[in-house]
Structure 1
Amino acid sequence: MRFRNLFIAVLVTVSFTAAQAAPQWLSLPPTPTLPKATRSGLAPVNGIKVWYAMFGRGEPVLLLHGGLANANYWGHQVRALQRHYQVIVMESRGHGRSSRNQEPYGYDLMASDVIGLLDDLRIRKTAIVGWSDGAIIGLDIAMKHPERVSRLFAFAANSDPSGVADIASSNVFNAYIARAGEEYKRLSPTPTAYKSFVDDITKMWESQPKWTASDLAAIKVPTWIVDGDHDEAIKRENTEFMAANIPGAGLLIQPEVSHFSFLQDREQFNDDVLHFLARGGDKSGAGAK
């Protein structure tokens, strides 16, 4: 009887602990690593050096990371996608291992860096999966260089600064900013410049992008607008506004995740990306020249 009571007590304790555990949208899982690349390097683009890596074989899929981050954040997605696609990751100017110059940050400029890298790699057309700033860059390219994009999976983007929520009180986002700073010190060619880097990126966030409904209506490539149902940084009404104004766009709200869905529930995120990519679409001109 004593052992039975102890067993019941353990079950109650475990159940209580599980019930009290923080939900996954309040977690920031560790930054993954990238698998071994088939090719990587620094490409000369627009007066800077852009770091990139390539994995797998097949139709190209380009992964664009969020602000302050680096390509390592895509480690789980690269492992899932490289079995079916040629996956390319890159680091935006001033992020990760990429350098920058004195030009102020802007989404048009960073989109032109992407086009420059694709030219350097001789990739005429690619699917794009973007997170946050990476999703905004993807939308910019789809809007202004549609011939270079086969499909766009835009996660946690905003079309206007008013679509960004106040993240100052978010423990998850504050932890991310601190972590990104430590990663910057390890990876950046300017490891002591994180504060000025954040200040410069913040100026961009405060003023860009500024897209209207008619701007979004110019996007003709197959697009999904995606976000987490607990995104601490993006207002839901802005997500819905983008999906409503991009012709034929899908709207997907992933359950029980936040701005860091791809870390918090990698299986759900990966399944959604794979499902989106498998839907096909215009592949003319995809791949190497």
Structure 2
Amino acid sequence: MNFTHRIDRVFSFGDTYSYDNINATIGDYQVFGEYLHCVEEEYHRNSPSNGTFDDFAQKIDAMWSTEPVWNASSFSKIPSHYDDPDAPVIWIVDGGSEEAIARDAPGVLPNILSKSGALIFVFFLE
């Protein structure tokens, strides 16, 4: 939130503003386990780091359990179209069955970010 003047457009999917919004039961979801398996494969294929995936995963877990820590005051630093016609275009996007983020988080952000748009994708499986 320190360089909001650099923001032109934001398309944020699976977004949250506080680590408290991370779903505590995320590890119970098969889809998330499959996602982590893909992440590990891609890490080994693409990372130039000499570190291990386990080191990387521990750092990600530490980040997810302590960040972000934002609130309405934090987001008020981002200009809105009410105040500035050149303000960034912001979309808050999420899936209808988000596994990782608490269900109410995507609905809170558009209320905090004036003139942002919200879009929830809902998929029906037969």
TM-score, normalised to structure 1, is 0.38
In structure 2, distance between residues paired with 1:151 and 1:144? 16
Correspondence 1:167 to 2:29: no
1:204 — aligned with what? Answer: 63
In structure 2, distance between residues paired with 1:171 and 1:223? 31
In structure 2, distance between residues paired with 1:151 and 1:192? 33
1:224 aligned to 56, 81, 91, which one? 91
1:234 aligned to 92, 101, 115, which one? 101
Deviation at 1:192, TM superposition (A): 5.7
Deviation at 1:185, TM superposition (A): 1.4
Q: Deviations over 1:96-151 (max 9, x none)?
A: xxxxxxxxxxxxxxxxxxxxxxxxxxxxxxxxxxxxxxxxxxxxxxx322322222
In structure 2, distance between residues paired with 1:203 and 1:153? 25
Deviation at 1:228, TM superposition (A): 0.5
Distance 1:182 1:146, change over 3 A: same
Would the aligned equivalents of 2:18 and 2:70 in 1 still touch at CA under 8 Å?
A: yes
DSSP-derived class of the 1:197 partner: helix
2:5 aligned to 124, 139, 147, which one? 147
Correspondence 1:185 to 2:52: no
Percent identity reads 31
Correspondence 1:255 to 2:113: no
Deviation at 1:222, TM superposition (A): 2.2
In structure 1, distance between residues paired with 2:75 and 2:96? 22
Would the aligned equivalents of 1:158 and 1:234 in 2 still touch at CA under 8 Å?
A: yes
Larger relative contact order, structure 1 or 2 (CA cutoff 8 Å, min sep 6): 2
Would the aligned equivalents of 1:163 and 1:234 in 2 still touch at CA under 8 Å?
A: yes
Unaligned runs of 5+ in 2: 80-87
DSSP-derived class of the 1:208 partner: coil
Aligned residue-pair number = 115
Deviation at 1:200, TM superposition (A): 0.9
Would the aligned equivalents of 1:168 and 1:174 in 2 still touch at CA under 8 Å?
A: yes
DSSP-derived class of the 1:224 partner: strand
Deviation at 1:227, TM superposition (A): 0.4
1:115 — aligned with what? Answer: none
**Max radius of gyration: which structure?**
1
Correspondence 1:156 to 2:14: yes
Q: Deviations over 1:159-192 (max 9, x none)?
A: 0011111211111110111121122112222366
1:246 aligned to 109, 113, 118, which one? 113
In structure 2, distance between residues paired with 1:224 and 1:188? 29
Would the aligned equivalents of 2:4 and 2:77 in 1 still touch at CA under 8 Å?
A: no
Unaligned runs of 5+ in 1: 1-142, 258-289
Deviation at 1:207, TM superposition (A): 0.4
